[in-house]
Amino acid sequence: MRMGRIGGRLALLHGDRALDVEKASDGRFAAEPDRIFERWDEFARWAEGRSLDDAVPFSPAQVGAPVLRPAQVFAIGLNYQAHASEAGVRPKITSPAVFTKFVTSIAGPYDTVTLPSTRVDWEVELVAVIGRPGHQVAEKDGWSHVAGLTVGQDLSERTVQLEGPVPQFSLGKSFPGFSPIGPSLVSVDEFADPDDLALSCALDGEVLQDGRTKDLIFSVPELVARLSAVVPLLPGDVIFTGTPSGVGMGRDPERYLPPGGTLVSTIEGIGSLSNRLVAGPGVQGAA
């Protein structure tokens, strides 16, 4: 099953066509996509095998983030060994580095992102969305608590992130537009192997990152277990699972996103984000 936010409304998706869920269910399910996660199992049963004969075409301009206001947004740092190495972290990582991205940073898959400085970095990530609440979930049950997977970008303003007596990961990664997700949420059963998906990002056609989720140090089920060991997970919660190597800060010389470019982030079996970049006030290249 693929679901998304089309024209602000919950829809089942098939290619470039969308079935409005509220209308197709005769009001059984609300039009607001964020509300569906509290009834995810019921919704999944209803959607299974649902005819999409009445689906209608939609355009990219109508597509929003599949989850817009989750109660909790978790993010995992240094969750690919090659990325940890390029960040200068050499010892074996034995526990996930967890931070949050504030909810107001969430944006749609085709939204324009305003760059607040000349030090904004890219990080393509697999994003898991919780569909079944859980506290102290066993790793073997982790996938059963995931509603689906989507594409995410963990954009990062590196000066804010790293200044001060201690790093400010959450602030540096939470400017408006710094968490685009989409274009759809794909249920776990749609993947032959949800633990091994290709992911990449490119700037104006130049590939910047190219990896596979099988290289995650902490898999999605293990992250569900580790996070829920401390924090009860709620329907609609979002987990950014980490990025592969190839980020700008890890290069020599360092490299950052320029105004005027388009950043495309892709994950196998899900689709792509395409976010145009513009300069904020006072940033070189601003109009």
Q: What is the pLDDT of residue 88?
A: 80
* 162-197 per-position pLDDT tens digit: 998 999 999 999 999 999 999 999 999 999 999 999
CA dihedral of residues 120, 125, 130, 131 (deg, nearest 10):
120
- Number of Cβ atoms within 10 Å of the Cβ of 48: 10
pLDDT beneath 50: ranges in the chain: none
Distance CA 137, CA 139 (A): 6
Q: What is the pLDDT of residue 286?
A: 64
Q: What is the pLDDT of residue 245?
A: 95
Tell whether pTM > 0.85.
yes
Q: What is the pLDDT of residue 287?
A: 57
